Protein backbone atom coordinates (compact mmCIF):
# COMPACT_ATOMS: atom_id res chain seq x y z
CA UNK A 1 0.00 0.00 0.00
CA UNK A 2 2.93 2.33 0.67
CA UNK A 3 3.88 2.21 -3.03
CA UNK A 4 0.52 3.50 -4.16
CA UNK A 5 0.03 7.01 -5.46
CA UNK A 6 -3.76 7.11 -5.75
CA UNK A 7 -6.28 5.41 -3.49
CA UNK A 8 -9.97 4.77 -4.07
CA UNK A 9 -12.44 6.34 -1.65
CA UNK A 10 -16.24 6.47 -1.57
CA UNK A 11 -18.08 9.73 -0.92
CA UNK A 12 -20.30 9.81 2.17
CA UNK A 13 -21.18 13.52 2.32
CA UNK A 14 -20.89 16.51 -0.04
CA UNK A 15 -22.50 19.25 2.09
CA UNK A 16 -19.32 21.23 2.71
CA UNK A 17 -20.04 23.89 5.34
CA UNK A 18 -17.33 26.13 3.81
CA UNK A 19 -18.70 25.76 0.24
CA UNK A 20 -15.22 24.89 -1.03
CA UNK A 21 -16.33 21.72 -2.86
CA UNK A 22 -14.71 19.52 -0.23
CA UNK A 23 -16.13 16.04 0.35
CA UNK A 24 -16.14 13.50 3.13
CA UNK A 25 -15.10 10.03 1.98
CA UNK A 26 -13.87 6.70 3.37
CA UNK A 27 -11.22 4.51 1.81
CA UNK A 28 -12.55 1.54 -0.19
CA UNK A 29 -11.24 -1.99 0.36
CA UNK A 30 -9.15 -0.87 3.30
CA UNK A 31 -9.14 -1.48 7.04
CA UNK A 32 -7.42 1.85 7.61
CA UNK A 33 -10.73 3.66 8.23
CA UNK A 34 -11.21 2.07 11.64
CA UNK A 35 -7.51 2.52 12.47
CA UNK A 36 -7.77 6.21 11.60
CA UNK A 37 -10.79 6.68 13.87
CA UNK A 38 -9.25 4.77 16.77
CA UNK A 39 -6.13 6.95 16.57
CA UNK A 40 -8.19 10.05 17.38
CA UNK A 41 -8.39 10.28 21.14
CA UNK A 42 -8.84 12.75 23.96
CA UNK A 43 -11.72 12.80 23.24
CA UNK A 44 -12.62 10.03 20.74
CA UNK A 45 -13.98 11.10 17.37
CA UNK A 46 -17.71 11.95 17.50
CA UNK A 47 -19.42 11.89 14.08
CA UNK A 48 -22.19 14.29 15.11
CA UNK A 49 -19.87 16.83 16.70
CA UNK A 50 -16.61 16.49 14.75
CA UNK A 51 -17.85 15.97 11.17
CA UNK A 52 -16.62 18.76 8.86
CA UNK A 53 -14.54 20.13 11.73
CA UNK A 54 -10.77 20.40 12.31
CA UNK A 55 -10.65 16.89 13.85
CA UNK A 56 -12.42 15.20 10.91
CA UNK A 57 -9.88 12.91 9.13
CA UNK A 58 -12.21 12.10 6.21
CA UNK A 59 -12.33 15.55 4.58
CA UNK A 60 -10.72 15.73 1.13
CA UNK A 61 -10.11 18.96 -0.81
CA UNK A 62 -10.40 19.09 -4.62
CA UNK A 63 -7.28 19.28 -6.78
CA UNK A 64 -9.25 21.48 -9.18
CA UNK A 65 -8.92 25.24 -8.62
CA UNK A 66 -11.61 26.86 -6.50
CA UNK A 67 -12.96 28.60 -9.60
CA UNK A 68 -13.94 25.26 -11.18
CA UNK A 69 -16.61 23.28 -9.37
CA UNK A 70 -17.00 19.63 -10.38
CA UNK A 71 -20.22 18.26 -8.85
CA UNK A 72 -20.08 14.90 -7.09
CA UNK A 73 -22.69 12.62 -5.56
CA UNK A 74 -22.85 10.58 -2.39
CA UNK A 75 -21.94 6.97 -3.16
CA UNK A 76 -19.61 7.74 -6.05
CA UNK A 77 -15.96 6.78 -5.95
CA UNK A 78 -13.12 9.28 -6.11
CA UNK A 79 -9.36 8.92 -6.36
CA UNK A 80 -7.50 10.42 -3.42
CA UNK A 81 -3.89 11.41 -2.88
CA UNK A 82 -2.06 12.16 0.36
CA UNK A 83 0.80 14.59 0.82
CA UNK A 84 1.99 12.27 3.57
CA UNK A 85 1.96 8.56 2.78
CA UNK A 86 1.98 7.72 6.48
CA UNK A 87 -1.67 8.84 6.54
CA UNK A 88 -1.19 11.82 8.80
CA UNK A 89 -4.31 13.23 7.14
CA UNK A 90 -2.79 16.59 6.52
CA UNK A 91 -3.22 18.08 3.03
CA UNK A 92 -5.24 15.30 1.41
CA UNK A 93 -6.90 15.79 -1.96
CA UNK A 94 -9.21 14.09 -4.43
CA UNK A 95 -9.85 13.93 -8.15
CA UNK A 96 -12.97 12.62 -9.84
CA UNK A 97 -12.95 8.94 -10.80
CA UNK A 98 -13.55 7.60 -14.32
CA UNK A 99 -16.94 7.67 -16.02
CA UNK A 100 -18.12 4.68 -18.03
CA UNK A 101 -20.33 6.63 -20.44
CA UNK A 102 -21.46 10.21 -21.17
CA UNK A 103 -24.98 8.85 -20.59
CA UNK A 104 -23.97 8.30 -16.94
CA UNK A 105 -23.80 12.01 -16.08
CA UNK A 106 -26.35 11.66 -13.29
CA UNK A 107 -24.51 9.03 -11.27
CA UNK A 108 -21.55 6.73 -11.85
CA UNK A 109 -21.32 3.59 -9.75
CA UNK A 110 -18.00 2.15 -8.65
CA UNK A 111 -18.03 -0.87 -10.99
CA UNK A 112 -18.91 1.06 -14.14
CA UNK A 113 -16.18 3.59 -13.39
CA UNK A 114 -13.64 0.88 -14.25
CA UNK A 115 -15.02 0.13 -17.72
CA UNK A 116 -13.08 2.83 -19.57
CA UNK A 117 -9.68 1.72 -18.23
CA UNK A 118 -7.55 -1.42 -18.34
CA UNK A 119 -9.38 -3.16 -15.51
CA UNK A 120 -12.62 -2.65 -17.43
CA UNK A 121 -11.97 -5.66 -19.66
CA UNK A 122 -13.63 -7.76 -16.95
CA UNK A 123 -16.87 -5.81 -17.05
CA UNK A 124 -19.72 -5.56 -19.53
CA UNK A 125 -19.36 -2.36 -21.54
CA UNK A 126 -22.01 0.27 -22.06
CA UNK A 127 -23.32 1.40 -25.44
CA UNK A 128 -20.71 2.97 -27.73
CA UNK A 129 -21.81 6.11 -29.58
CA UNK A 130 -19.16 6.07 -32.32
CA UNK A 131 -17.85 3.55 -34.84
CA UNK A 132 -14.20 2.59 -34.90
CA UNK A 133 -13.57 5.11 -37.70
CA UNK A 134 -14.80 8.00 -35.55
CA UNK A 135 -18.20 8.40 -37.22
CA UNK A 136 -21.39 8.30 -35.16
CA UNK A 137 -23.40 5.09 -35.19
CA UNK A 138 -26.53 7.25 -35.20
CA UNK A 139 -26.08 10.68 -36.78
CA UNK A 140 -28.83 12.22 -34.62
CA UNK A 141 -26.66 11.74 -31.51
CA UNK A 142 -23.95 14.07 -32.86
CA UNK A 143 -23.84 17.33 -30.94
CA UNK A 144 -25.36 16.14 -27.66
CA UNK A 145 -22.00 15.62 -25.96
CA UNK A 146 -18.80 17.67 -26.08
CA UNK A 147 -16.62 16.64 -29.03
CA UNK A 148 -12.92 15.70 -28.64
CA UNK A 149 -10.81 18.81 -29.13
CA UNK A 150 -13.39 21.24 -27.71
CA UNK A 151 -13.40 22.63 -24.17
CA UNK A 152 -16.48 21.90 -22.13
CA UNK A 153 -18.06 22.32 -18.72
CA UNK A 154 -20.60 19.53 -18.43
CA UNK A 155 -23.53 19.41 -16.05
CA UNK A 156 -25.05 16.20 -14.73
CA UNK A 157 -28.26 16.80 -16.65
CA UNK A 158 -29.15 18.53 -19.91
CA UNK A 159 -26.94 21.61 -19.47
CA UNK A 160 -23.37 22.39 -20.50
CA UNK A 161 -21.03 25.10 -21.77
CA UNK A 162 -18.94 24.44 -24.89
CA UNK A 163 -15.97 26.57 -25.94
CA UNK A 164 -14.84 25.95 -29.54
CA UNK A 165 -12.29 27.87 -31.59
CA UNK A 166 -14.68 30.71 -32.51
CA UNK A 167 -17.88 29.83 -30.64
CA UNK A 168 -19.12 29.72 -27.07
CA UNK A 169 -22.38 27.85 -26.52
CA UNK A 170 -24.36 27.87 -23.28
CA UNK A 171 -27.31 25.50 -23.46
CA UNK A 172 -29.89 23.58 -21.47
CA UNK A 173 -32.35 20.89 -22.55
CA UNK A 174 -29.96 19.36 -25.10
CA UNK A 175 -31.67 15.95 -24.99
CA UNK A 176 -35.16 14.63 -24.31
CA UNK A 177 -36.14 12.33 -21.45
CA UNK A 178 -33.56 10.64 -19.24
CA UNK A 179 -30.15 9.24 -20.19
CA UNK A 180 -29.67 5.48 -20.24
CA UNK A 181 -26.17 4.01 -20.79
CA UNK A 182 -27.68 1.27 -22.96
CA UNK A 183 -29.85 3.46 -25.21
CA UNK A 184 -29.06 6.16 -27.74
CA UNK A 185 -30.11 9.60 -26.38
CA UNK A 186 -32.70 11.67 -28.24
CA UNK A 187 -31.58 15.22 -29.16
CA UNK A 188 -33.86 18.16 -28.37
CA UNK A 189 -33.92 20.69 -31.20
CA UNK A 190 -35.95 23.04 -28.97
CA UNK A 191 -33.17 23.38 -26.41
CA UNK A 192 -32.56 26.75 -24.77
CA UNK A 193 -29.22 28.26 -25.77
CA UNK A 194 -27.01 31.30 -26.16
CA UNK A 195 -24.33 31.17 -28.86
CA UNK A 196 -21.60 33.78 -29.14
CA UNK A 197 -19.63 33.44 -32.38
CA UNK A 198 -17.07 35.04 -34.61
CA UNK A 199 -17.73 34.20 -38.28
CA UNK A 200 -14.61 34.73 -40.37
CA UNK A 201 -16.27 34.48 -43.80
CA UNK A 202 -19.52 35.58 -45.42
CA UNK A 203 -21.44 34.36 -48.46
CA UNK A 204 -22.55 36.79 -51.16
CA UNK A 205 -24.84 35.99 -54.08
CA UNK A 206 -23.22 35.67 -57.50
CA UNK A 207 -24.39 35.08 -61.07
CA UNK A 208 -26.42 32.17 -62.44
CA UNK A 209 -23.96 29.68 -63.93
CA UNK A 210 -24.07 26.29 -65.61
CA UNK A 211 -21.76 23.50 -64.57
CA UNK A 212 -21.24 19.91 -65.63
CA UNK A 213 -21.54 17.52 -62.70
CA UNK A 214 -20.29 13.95 -62.60
CA UNK A 215 -22.74 11.75 -60.74
CA UNK A 216 -22.27 8.15 -59.70
CA UNK A 217 -24.25 5.87 -61.99
CA UNK A 218 -27.03 3.77 -60.48
CA UNK A 219 -25.48 0.42 -61.39
CA UNK A 220 -26.45 -2.79 -59.60
CA UNK A 221 -23.64 -4.49 -57.72
CA UNK A 222 -23.23 -7.98 -59.19
CA UNK A 223 -21.29 -9.78 -56.47
CA UNK A 224 -20.62 -9.45 -52.76
CA UNK A 225 -17.64 -10.74 -50.76
CA UNK A 226 -18.09 -11.02 -46.98
CA UNK A 227 -15.28 -12.05 -44.64
CA UNK A 228 -15.98 -13.43 -41.15
CA UNK A 229 -13.71 -14.08 -38.13
CA UNK A 230 -15.32 -16.91 -36.12
CA UNK A 231 -13.17 -16.42 -33.00
CA UNK A 232 -12.76 -12.63 -32.79
CA UNK A 233 -11.59 -12.67 -29.17
CA UNK A 234 -8.55 -14.80 -29.99
CA UNK A 235 -5.17 -13.13 -29.61
CA UNK A 236 -2.95 -15.18 -31.94
CA UNK A 237 -4.74 -17.74 -34.18
CA UNK A 238 -7.92 -17.06 -36.14
CA UNK A 239 -10.57 -19.21 -37.81
CA UNK A 240 -13.08 -17.98 -40.33
CA UNK A 241 -14.31 -17.99 -43.89
CA UNK A 242 -14.91 -15.80 -46.91
CA UNK A 243 -18.23 -15.97 -48.79
CA UNK A 244 -18.88 -14.99 -52.40
CA UNK A 245 -22.49 -14.07 -53.20
CA UNK A 246 -24.36 -13.13 -56.34
CA UNK A 247 -26.80 -10.27 -55.71
CA UNK A 248 -30.34 -9.93 -57.01
CA UNK A 249 -30.77 -6.58 -58.84
CA UNK A 250 -32.47 -4.10 -56.53
CA UNK A 251 -32.38 -0.43 -55.46
CA UNK A 252 -30.62 -1.52 -52.27
CA UNK A 253 -27.60 -2.98 -54.08
CA UNK A 254 -26.80 -0.14 -56.48
CA UNK A 255 -23.27 1.19 -56.12
CA UNK A 256 -24.56 4.47 -54.65
CA UNK A 257 -26.68 2.66 -52.02
CA UNK A 258 -24.76 -0.44 -50.91
CA UNK A 259 -22.53 0.03 -47.86
CA UNK A 260 -21.16 -1.84 -44.85
CA UNK A 261 -24.46 -1.51 -42.94
CA UNK A 262 -26.86 -2.39 -45.79
CA UNK A 263 -29.38 -5.10 -44.88
CA UNK A 264 -29.61 -7.25 -48.03
CA UNK A 265 -29.94 -10.81 -46.68
CA UNK A 266 -32.96 -11.42 -48.94
CA UNK A 267 -30.95 -10.43 -52.03
CA UNK A 268 -27.89 -12.68 -51.48
CA UNK A 269 -27.32 -16.10 -53.07
CA UNK A 270 -24.12 -17.83 -52.02
CA UNK A 271 -21.75 -19.10 -54.73
CA UNK A 272 -18.63 -20.12 -52.78
CA UNK A 273 -17.36 -20.34 -49.21
CA UNK A 274 -13.65 -20.65 -48.54
CA UNK A 275 -12.56 -21.57 -44.98
CA UNK A 276 -9.34 -20.80 -43.13
CA UNK A 277 -8.17 -22.15 -39.75
CA UNK A 278 -5.51 -21.34 -37.17
CA UNK A 279 -3.95 -18.51 -39.12
CA UNK A 280 -1.98 -15.69 -37.57
CA UNK A 281 -3.27 -12.14 -37.88
CA UNK A 282 -0.98 -11.41 -40.84
CA UNK A 283 -1.87 -14.73 -42.51
CA UNK A 284 -5.59 -13.96 -42.05
CA UNK A 285 -5.17 -10.53 -43.67
CA UNK A 286 -3.28 -12.05 -46.60
CA UNK A 287 -5.86 -14.85 -47.05
CA UNK A 288 -8.78 -12.41 -47.27
CA UNK A 289 -6.94 -9.91 -49.47
CA UNK A 290 -5.79 -12.73 -51.80
CA UNK A 291 -9.38 -13.93 -52.21
CA UNK A 292 -10.56 -10.40 -53.08
CA UNK A 293 -7.68 -10.05 -55.54
CA UNK A 294 -8.48 -13.46 -57.12
CA UNK A 295 -12.12 -12.41 -57.61
CA UNK A 296 -10.84 -9.36 -59.46
CA UNK A 297 -8.45 -11.17 -61.81
CA UNK A 298 -9.58 -14.80 -62.05
CA UNK A 299 -12.62 -16.92 -62.86
CA UNK A 300 -11.44 -19.83 -60.72
CA UNK A 301 -8.92 -20.40 -57.96
CA UNK A 302 -5.64 -22.27 -58.38
CA UNK A 303 -7.21 -25.29 -56.68
CA UNK A 304 -9.92 -25.43 -59.33
CA UNK A 305 -12.72 -23.76 -57.31
CA UNK A 306 -14.95 -21.92 -59.79
CA UNK A 307 -15.74 -18.32 -58.86
CA UNK A 308 -17.44 -17.08 -62.04
CA UNK A 309 -18.67 -18.76 -65.20
CA UNK A 310 -17.05 -17.78 -68.51
CA UNK A 311 -19.89 -15.58 -69.75
CA UNK A 312 -20.85 -14.14 -66.37
CA UNK A 313 -20.64 -10.42 -65.58
CA UNK A 314 -18.63 -10.27 -62.37
CA UNK A 315 -18.35 -6.51 -61.74
CA UNK A 316 -19.05 -4.43 -59.75
CA UNK A 317 -17.86 -6.42 -56.71
CA UNK A 318 -18.31 -5.13 -53.15
CA UNK A 319 -16.44 -6.52 -50.13
CA UNK A 320 -17.19 -6.00 -46.44
CA UNK A 321 -17.12 -7.84 -43.07
CA UNK A 322 -19.96 -10.31 -42.51
CA UNK A 323 -22.78 -9.42 -40.12
CA UNK A 324 -21.37 -11.11 -36.99
CA UNK A 325 -17.93 -9.54 -37.49
CA UNK A 326 -19.42 -6.13 -38.30
CA UNK A 327 -21.46 -6.22 -35.09
CA UNK A 328 -18.39 -7.03 -33.01
CA UNK A 329 -16.42 -4.25 -34.71
CA UNK A 330 -19.15 -1.74 -33.88
CA UNK A 331 -19.47 -2.87 -30.26
CA UNK A 332 -23.21 -3.67 -30.60
CA UNK A 333 -22.97 -7.45 -30.17
CA UNK A 334 -23.91 -8.09 -26.52
CA UNK A 335 -22.33 -4.66 -25.82
CA UNK A 336 -18.89 -6.26 -25.96
CA UNK A 337 -15.77 -4.19 -26.50
CA UNK A 338 -14.59 -4.35 -30.15
CA UNK A 339 -11.73 -6.92 -30.32
CA UNK A 340 -8.47 -5.10 -30.96
CA UNK A 341 -6.94 -7.77 -33.22
CA UNK A 342 -10.00 -7.88 -35.49
CA UNK A 343 -9.84 -4.07 -35.69
CA UNK A 344 -6.24 -4.47 -36.90
CA UNK A 345 -7.39 -7.01 -39.50
CA UNK A 346 -10.20 -4.66 -40.63
CA UNK A 347 -7.73 -1.80 -41.14
CA UNK A 348 -5.57 -3.90 -43.48
CA UNK A 349 -8.26 -5.47 -45.66
CA UNK A 350 -7.79 -3.60 -48.94
CA UNK A 351 -7.92 -4.33 -52.65
CA UNK A 352 -5.69 -1.34 -53.38
CA UNK A 353 -2.89 -0.96 -50.83
CA UNK A 354 -2.82 2.82 -51.43
CA UNK A 355 -6.53 3.23 -50.71
CA UNK A 356 -7.42 5.22 -47.59
CA UNK A 357 -10.55 3.08 -47.09
CA UNK A 358 -10.12 -0.29 -45.39
CA UNK A 359 -12.29 -3.29 -44.51
CA UNK A 360 -14.86 -2.46 -47.20
CA UNK A 361 -14.76 -1.29 -50.78
CA UNK A 362 -15.84 -1.60 -54.41
CA UNK A 363 -14.09 -3.05 -57.44
CA UNK A 364 -16.04 -1.45 -60.29
CA UNK A 365 -14.20 -3.19 -63.13
CA UNK A 366 -10.98 -5.17 -63.41
CA UNK A 367 -8.25 -3.43 -61.38
CA UNK A 368 -10.46 -0.33 -61.03
CA UNK A 369 -11.75 1.25 -57.81
CA UNK A 370 -12.92 4.52 -59.39
CA UNK A 371 -16.73 4.68 -59.60
CA UNK A 372 -18.26 5.11 -63.06
CA UNK A 373 -20.02 8.43 -63.50
CA UNK A 374 -22.36 10.23 -65.86
CA UNK A 375 -22.25 13.94 -66.68
CA UNK A 376 -25.19 16.27 -66.04
CA UNK A 377 -25.49 20.02 -66.62
CA UNK A 378 -26.90 21.89 -63.65
CA UNK A 379 -27.74 25.55 -63.16
CA UNK A 380 -27.10 27.28 -59.86
CA UNK A 381 -26.35 30.64 -58.35
CA UNK A 382 -22.64 30.95 -57.81
CA UNK A 383 -22.25 32.07 -54.21
CA UNK A 384 -18.93 33.59 -53.27
CA UNK A 385 -17.28 33.31 -49.90
CA UNK A 386 -15.39 36.42 -48.84
CA UNK A 387 -13.26 37.12 -45.80
CA UNK A 388 -15.30 39.22 -43.40
CA UNK A 389 -14.79 38.95 -39.64
CA UNK A 390 -18.15 39.48 -37.98
CA UNK A 391 -19.44 38.63 -34.54
CA UNK A 392 -22.93 37.38 -33.72
CA UNK A 393 -24.92 36.48 -30.65
CA UNK A 394 -27.69 33.96 -31.22
CA UNK A 395 -30.30 33.23 -28.55
CA UNK A 396 -32.84 30.44 -28.86
CA UNK A 397 -35.55 28.73 -26.84
CA UNK A 398 -39.28 28.01 -26.88
CA UNK A 399 -39.86 31.37 -25.19
CA UNK A 400 -37.40 34.24 -24.73
CA UNK A 401 -37.67 36.80 -21.93
CA UNK A 402 -35.65 40.04 -21.99
CA UNK A 403 -35.81 41.62 -18.55
CA UNK A 404 -34.63 44.96 -17.19
CA UNK A 405 -34.38 45.59 -13.45
CA UNK A 406 -35.39 49.24 -13.97
CA UNK A 407 -38.35 49.10 -16.36
CA UNK A 408 -42.02 48.10 -16.52
CA UNK A 409 -43.64 47.19 -19.83
CA UNK A 410 -46.79 49.30 -19.26
CA UNK A 411 -48.69 51.11 -16.46
CA UNK A 412 -51.16 48.21 -16.31
CA UNK A 413 -48.41 45.71 -15.45
CA UNK A 414 -46.45 45.15 -12.25
CA UNK A 415 -42.71 45.64 -12.00
CA UNK A 416 -40.97 42.26 -12.05
CA UNK A 417 -39.25 41.41 -8.77
CA UNK A 418 -35.95 39.62 -9.42
CA UNK A 419 -34.82 39.50 -5.80
CA UNK A 420 -33.91 36.05 -4.45
CA UNK A 421 -33.10 34.83 -7.97
CA UNK A 422 -29.29 35.01 -7.81
CA UNK A 423 -29.01 31.22 -8.28
CA UNK A 424 -31.60 31.03 -11.04
CA UNK A 425 -35.27 31.67 -11.80
CA UNK A 426 -37.60 28.69 -11.42
CA UNK A 427 -40.59 27.90 -13.62
CA UNK A 428 -43.13 29.00 -11.00
CA UNK A 429 -41.56 32.48 -10.99
CA UNK A 430 -41.79 32.60 -14.80
CA UNK A 431 -45.47 31.59 -14.85
CA UNK A 432 -46.66 33.64 -11.85
CA UNK A 433 -44.63 36.85 -12.16
CA UNK A 434 -42.67 37.19 -15.42
CA UNK A 435 -45.14 35.96 -18.04
CA UNK A 436 -48.10 38.19 -17.01
CA UNK A 437 -45.90 41.30 -16.65
CA UNK A 438 -44.08 41.21 -19.97
CA UNK A 439 -45.21 42.28 -23.44
CA UNK A 440 -44.70 40.74 -26.86
CA UNK A 441 -41.86 41.94 -29.09
CA UNK A 442 -42.73 43.71 -32.33
CA UNK A 443 -41.55 42.47 -35.75
CA UNK A 444 -40.19 45.62 -37.36
CA UNK A 445 -40.60 44.86 -41.06
CA UNK A 446 -44.17 43.63 -40.62
CA UNK A 447 -45.03 46.76 -38.60
CA UNK A 448 -43.62 48.97 -41.38
CA UNK A 449 -45.77 47.13 -43.93
CA UNK A 450 -48.93 48.02 -41.95
CA UNK A 451 -47.78 51.63 -41.41
CA UNK A 452 -47.02 51.94 -45.13
CA UNK A 453 -50.51 50.64 -45.97
CA UNK A 454 -52.09 53.19 -43.63
CA UNK A 455 -50.00 56.06 -45.08
CA UNK A 456 -50.85 55.06 -48.64
CA UNK A 457 -54.54 55.07 -47.76
CA UNK A 458 -54.28 58.46 -46.07
CA UNK A 459 -52.43 60.05 -48.99
CA UNK A 460 -54.43 58.57 -51.88
CA UNK A 461 -57.99 58.34 -50.52
CA UNK A 462 -60.75 60.68 -51.70
CA UNK A 463 -64.24 61.74 -50.46
CA UNK A 464 -67.25 61.90 -52.83
CA UNK A 465 -68.44 65.06 -51.09
CA UNK A 466 -67.13 67.13 -48.18
CA UNK A 467 -68.11 65.61 -44.84
CA UNK A 468 -68.84 62.13 -46.28
CA UNK A 469 -66.87 58.91 -45.67
CA UNK A 470 -63.97 58.23 -48.02
CA UNK A 471 -64.39 56.13 -51.15
CA UNK A 472 -63.67 52.45 -50.37
CA UNK A 473 -61.00 52.21 -53.12
CA UNK A 474 -58.19 54.80 -53.20
CA UNK A 475 -56.42 56.21 -56.23
CA UNK A 476 -53.57 53.64 -56.00
CA UNK A 477 -55.92 50.69 -55.50
CA UNK A 478 -55.79 50.43 -51.69
CA UNK A 479 -59.07 49.38 -50.10
CA UNK A 480 -60.67 49.85 -46.72
CA UNK A 481 -61.36 46.10 -46.59
CA UNK A 482 -57.67 45.27 -47.11
CA UNK A 483 -56.62 47.80 -44.46
CA UNK A 484 -59.07 46.30 -41.91
CA UNK A 485 -57.94 42.77 -42.79
CA UNK A 486 -54.24 43.57 -42.29
CA UNK A 487 -55.00 45.30 -38.99
CA UNK A 488 -56.90 42.22 -37.76
CA UNK A 489 -53.86 40.06 -38.58
CA UNK A 490 -51.47 42.38 -36.73
CA UNK A 491 -51.79 40.58 -33.38
CA UNK A 492 -50.09 37.46 -34.75
CA UNK A 493 -48.22 38.92 -37.72
CA UNK A 494 -46.58 41.89 -36.01
CA UNK A 495 -46.36 40.67 -32.41
CA UNK A 496 -44.05 37.78 -31.46
CA UNK A 497 -45.65 36.35 -28.35
CA UNK A 498 -42.72 34.01 -27.73
CA UNK A 499 -40.20 36.86 -27.34
CA UNK A 500 -41.24 39.05 -24.41
CA UNK A 501 -39.78 41.99 -22.52
CA UNK A 502 -40.74 44.21 -19.61
User: What is the per-residue pLDDT across 367-423, written as a single tens digit (0 to 9) for each?
Assistant: 999 888 777 777 777 777 888 888 999 999 999 999 988 887 678 888 888 888 888
**Closest Cα partner for 396 from 174, 156, 150?**
174
Residue 111 pLDDT class (50, 70, 90 cuts)? low
Average pLDDT estimate for 317-341:
84
pLDDT mean over 332-358: 84
Least confident of 162-166, 389-393, 460-464: 460-464
CA separation for the pair 256, 316 (Å, rounded): 12
Question: Lowest-pLDDT range, 17-21, 353-357, 376-380?
Answer: 376-380
Mean of pLDDT values over 204-229: 83
**pLDDT tens track for 267-281:** 999 999 999 999 999
Q: What region, left, alpha or beta, does residue 420 occupy, with left being phi > 0 and alpha being psi -120 to 50 degrees?
A: left
Global pTM value: 0.56
Q: In this predicted structure, what is the pLDDT of residue 96?
A: 87
pLDDT at 381: 76
Q: What is the pLDDT of residue 89?
A: 61
Q: Residue 333: pLDDT band by 50, 70, 90 thresholds? A: low
C-alpha atoms less than 13 angstroms from C-alpha of 180 in its C-beta half-sphere: 7
pLDDT of 179 strictly over 70: yes
pLDDT value at residue 348: 94
Q: Which of 406, 222, 187 is nearest to 316 (CA)?
A: 222
State residue 110's pLDDT score: 57
Of residues 3 and 362, more confidently modeled: 362
Q: Compute the half-sphere exposure of residue 382: CA atoms within 13 Å on the CB side of its CA.
A: 6
> CB-side exposure of 248: number of CA atoms within 13 Å?
6
Residue 307 has pLDDT above 90, yes or no: yes
Q: Is the peptide bond before 336 cis (omega within 30 degrees of 0)?
A: no
Picking from 14-23, 131-140, 220-229, 306-315, which range would have the lowest pLDDT averaged per residue? 131-140
Amino acid sequence: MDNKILFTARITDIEDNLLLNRVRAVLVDSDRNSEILSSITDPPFNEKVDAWGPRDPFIFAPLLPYYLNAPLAVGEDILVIFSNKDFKFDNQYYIQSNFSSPMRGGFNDSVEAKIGVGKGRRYKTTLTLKNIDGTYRKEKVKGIFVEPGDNGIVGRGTSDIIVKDDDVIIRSGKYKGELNPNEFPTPNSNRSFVQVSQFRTRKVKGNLVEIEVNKEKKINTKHLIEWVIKNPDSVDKFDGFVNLYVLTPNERVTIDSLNVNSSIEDLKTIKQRIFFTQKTKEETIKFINDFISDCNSKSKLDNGTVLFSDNETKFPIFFRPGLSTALRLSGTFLSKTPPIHVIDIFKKIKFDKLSKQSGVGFIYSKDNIIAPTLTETNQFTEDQTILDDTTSTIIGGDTLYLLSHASTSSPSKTKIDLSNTLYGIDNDKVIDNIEPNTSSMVRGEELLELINLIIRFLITHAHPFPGEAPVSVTEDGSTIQNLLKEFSLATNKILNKKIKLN
